[in-house]
Structure 1
Amino acid sequence: MTHASVFRNRAFNFIMVAGFLAIMGYTMFFTTTTWYVISELESAGSLGIVLIAITVPRLMMMAFGGVVSDKFKKTTIMFSTSLTQGILLLTIFLLNYSDNMSMFSLIILGMFFGTLDAFSGPASSSLIPKIVQESQIQQANAFYQGATQIGIIAGPALAGAVMEASNVASSYLVATIVVFLSAVFMFPPFLKEGEVENKVKQTPLKDLQEGFSYIKSRTFLLTGILVLITLNFFAFGAIQIGIPILVELYGGTPINLSYIEVSLGLGMLFSSGIIGSIKIKRRGLTSVIGLIITLIVAVVFSQVPNLYVLTGLAFLIGFFMTFVSIPFFSSAQESTDGRIMGRVMSVIFLAMNGFDPIAYVGVTLFVSNGFDIQNVMLAFSLTGLIIALFILWKGKTYRQDNTHLLKSKTKKQ
């Protein structure tokens, strides 16, 4: 009954489709760019630089993106950023098609692309609790994540198929069309968002301080953010940059790269469906156990020299990763004041996505200095596993979390 009500929500359906198309376009861009740098520019060492250019601006602007999300309509922010990203992708396609693409232009355009994502991420993540009922938040997050995981699956698969059948320029063109379509579904009149909840007039700096003070006063949020940082730095970030290097090392092709990326997305999709069908009571414990299992699989992933086995392990990593993020994400949304939602979500979104570039830097530096990629990924995974076990041991408040406790704590504060 709850699920049916969510799907009868027109705004939620449009956001799901827009999220699917946006992430599909992004992963097409990401997959195409990684293969372009490694194969056509023949510079695996430069891959980290390009990926850092795409992601570091997002890291730097994320908190400010949360402030903007609380000050303006989230649908307007999402539409504007998606439309502009489409224009940037069109520029990349034209440069590549005319053989005028350079490493410098790719880095500059990637920086702008990442900067825009710093605004769209907090806006989309803080919009869901605004358009669905509180009791539907976990299910809405799961279904939204499931839709974006389909995009993660479809993006690399389509990019690999297009590059195999045609070339890199064609893949960039298809990504451009997909991102423009996402902007159509984000068109504000289609979503009819309510009024902005934050009516407080104060400086952006004061807004930032208020957001950080809010998070600092809540142990559950602090621990959950540490969990997400551990996941994305020591597991996902290292694996994301390691996958194309491993494919090249083991003699793979763009299709092999797509297989592994698709398998990762399929794992996320399956677990999103499960989470959307059940009610998780102890979300904090579920999250930290999911982190531990993910890192154990990542340890195995780092040592297997077979691309087909790596494809299967990528599925398991994706499957358990979702059990880390969605339970915490849902609890944070349910317990956070709507007026400050954008700023809280921006910090959580930063923890989910912003630490990838730091992992890219670390892995790239080690590989460039002669360390085997397998050993580097193993070291990252084992370090993350130690941190996760420490959180399980010490994080009593996080382990005992359930929706009931969070609500009562919020009321007291």
Structure 2
Amino acid sequence: MDQSKPTLFKNRAFVFLFFASLLAIVGFSMFFMTTTWFVISDLGSAGSLGIILIAITVPRILMMAFGGVIADKFKKTTIMFSTSSIQGVLIVAVFLLSNADQLTFTYLLIIGFIFGTLDAFSGPAGSSLIPKLVDKSQIKQANAIIQGLGQIGFVIGPIIAGSVMEFGGVTTGYFVTALIVLGSAFFMFPPFLKEGPVDNTVKQTPLKDLIEGFNYVRASRFLVTGILILITLNFFAFGSISIAIPILVETYGGSPINLSYIESALAIGMLVSTAIIGTVKIRRRGLTSMLGLIATLLVAFAFSQIPSLFILTGLAFMLGFSMTFVAIPFFTSAQEDTDPRIMGRVMSIVFLAMNGFDPLAYAGVTLLVARGIDIQLVILTFSLIGLFIALITFWRGKTFRNYTSEY
């Protein structure tokens, strides 16, 4: 490690990025949770929920690759600050509508569409900023902190939202969400992070930039396999179970506070594994990701068989513990080995695989449940399909399985 570089928590820019990223993810997941509960409990329509979640997720996915092009062309801190500020204003609008008892399906559909589109730009920018703020030997630890605890943010958000709604209702939930997202924008204020100059100075059309990014990824068997692993994790395991948890809680007669218990166990599992990854040197990163995926899907399978909220809490811990070992080793290796000039575009594709498919699972699960399919049968089917893909990938992915790192 370069001794001239400060440790991560003495690196002011990194600390601000950490808080900005964590608050952004917490705010995003709170918006999801509060909207989910509002649509199910107030509008009384799981089908409407699926449509709203699609409105949030589809533009996010479609625009994410283009978000990587923007991240390579402009200052990443400016992109992150602008998108979080606008998202905060949008949630303030939702709060005001809810407070006036005017929040309708149409308003949520429109605001959700804009919210998801903006998130497509902030994610790749934040992911590709890490290598510019820390020493290369610190990238794994930085990712263990930001990406690992960031995934915990997807769990902390629903915990906060559930607790707030338990005692203050949906309107208060949207108010707290708005404060958190605006707090994220504060920490993303560009002078706080002091980003260096833009690496990509090649002048070409956005379409050529986009094609160059896809060609770069397609030429790397390691990146292609890793992206498939992340998609499998987030669609068939984490995404499906995340949206299934509130449905199971309601099915078994629970309340938002019961939801918080299960989500807390998931967060603690992630926290424990994140601490291990941040301190232990992992050389066989490809093998670690593959085994972590298989373990996560086995836990998801067990999750589909248990009708007890108490036992599901323990399984949630195991799920959080295993899934962190899938994402962070691959994510770190991708950052270490990618050309800085094209980092934003590569990270946009990786970020899409890491965070873009779990919301699609949200929509898919809710639509299936709305059609009368039992939620545990849905989880069982998702976990078995994901496990089949994971085993095939383990068998065929020799290049990825044998990947090692010196850091």
In 1: Cα distance, 2:49 partner to 2:260 partner: 17
In 1: Cα distance, 2:350 partner to 2:401 partner: 18
Q: Is the 8 A contact 2:148 2:328 kept in 1?
A: no
Q: TM-score, normalised by structure 2?
A: 0.96
Q: Which residue of 2 aligns with 1:186?
A: 188
What does 1:3-402 correspond to in 2, within 5 Å? 5-149=7-151, 151-402=153-404
Q: Is the 8 A contact 2:87 2:181 kept in 1?
A: yes
Q: Is the 8 A contact 1:44 1:245 kept in 2?
A: no
Q: Is the 8 A contact 2:57 2:360 kept in 1?
A: no
Deviations 1:166-220 (A, max 9, x none): 1110111011111111111110011110000000000010001100110111100
Q: Is the 8 A contact 1:290 1:324 kept in 2?
A: yes
In 2: Cα distance, 1:27 partner to 1:263 partner: 16
Deviations 1:87-135 (A, max 9, x none): 0110000000000000111111011111111000000000001111111
Q: Is the 8 A contact 2:90 2:115 kept in 1?
A: yes
Q: Is the 8 A contact 1:53 1:110 kept in 2?
A: yes
Deviations 1:346-384 (A, max 9, x none): 001111122234423432343233221111110110010
Bigger drift between 343-352 and 141-150 goes to 141-150
In 2: Cα distance, 1:365 partner to 1:152 partner: 21
In 2: Cα distance, 1:221 partner to 1:153 partner: 27
Q: TM-score, normalised by structure 1?
A: 0.95
Change (3 A) 1:230 1:154: closer
In 1: Cα distance, 2:98 partner to 2:363 partner: 26
In 2: Cα distance, 1:179 partner to 1:358 partner: 22
Change (3 A) 1:153 1:355: closer
Secondary structure in structure 2 of the residue aligned to 1:166? helix
Secondary structure in structure 2 of the residue aligned to 1:68? helix
| Structure 2: 5+ residue stretches without partners | none
Q: Is the 8 A contact 2:22 2:149 kept in 1?
A: yes
In 2: Cα distance, 1:370 partner to 1:201 partner: 53
In 1: Cα distance, 2:30 partner to 2:363 partner: 22
In 2: Cα distance, 1:258 partner to 1:244 partner: 9
In 2: Cα distance, 1:226 partner to 1:8 partner: 35
Q: Is the 8 A contact 2:25 2:154 kept in 1?
A: yes
In 2: Cα distance, 1:20 partner to 1:365 partner: 29
Q: Is the 8 A contact 1:153 1:263 kept in 2?
A: no
Q: Is the 8 A contact 2:143 2:332 kept in 1?
A: yes
Tell me the amino acid that sits aligned with residue 50 of structure 2: G
Q: Is the 8 A contact 1:6 1:132 kept in 2?
A: yes
Secondary structure in structure 2 of the residue aligned to 1:194? coil
Tell me the amino acid that sits aligned with residue 165 of structure 2: M
Change (3 A) 1:386 1:153: closer
How far apart are 1:153 and its partner, in Å? 4.4
Tell me the amino acid that sits aligned with residue 144 of structure 1: I
Give the % identical residues.
65
| Structure 1: 5+ residue stretches without partners | 408-413
Q: Is the 8 A contact 1:232 1:353 kept in 2?
A: yes
Across the aligned residues of Structure 1 and Structure 2, the Cα RMSD in angstroms comes to 1.6
How far apart are 1:46 and its partner, in Å? 2.2
Secondary structure in structure 2 of the residue aligned to 1:271? helix
In 1: Cα distance, 2:211 partner to 2:54 partner: 27
